[in-house]
């Protein structure tokens, strides 16, 4: 089974408008949002930029918005019932 992911993209060098690129990822039971991001980077688009450190849900560097909710990507499992998921940067709150 494959799940569709819309991943936020922005190139500050080219000053393009932010957009979402679509990726179809094979679902593996227990996979996390970070697993998805790493899969896209390794197999589909090596220009994807992201951060993570501990992979244990402690440091917080892997924070993203998953379907409109702030989560730690390393510890948030993907729900296979959602056929389309959106991953983007955390929102700024000032």
Q: What is the pLDDT of residue 64?
A: 95
Q: What is the mean pLDDT of residues 53-59?
A: 81
What band does 92 get if pLDDT is binned at 50, 70 and 90? confident
In this predicted structure, the answer to whether residue 93 has a pLDDT above a threshold of 80 is no
Domain 2-88, what architecture? Answer: Roll (3.10)
* Spatial separation of the C-alpha atoms in residues 44 and 50, rounded to whole Å: 14
Provide the residue ranges of all domains of the chain, joining segments of one domain with +.
2-88
* pTM of the model as a whole: 0.87
């Amino acid at each position: 089974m494959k799940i569709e992911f819309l991943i936020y993209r922005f190139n500050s060098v080219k000053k393009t408008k932010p957009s979402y690129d679509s990726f179809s990822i094979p679902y593996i039971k227990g996979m996390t949002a970070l697993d998805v991001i790493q899969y896209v980077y390794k197999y589909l688009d090596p220009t994807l930029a992201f951060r993570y450190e501990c992979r244990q849900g402690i440091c917080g560097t892997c924070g993203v918005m998953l379907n409109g909710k702030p989560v730690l990507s390393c510890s948030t499992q993907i729900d296979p019932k959602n056929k389309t998921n959106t991953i983007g940067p955390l929102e700024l709150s000032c």
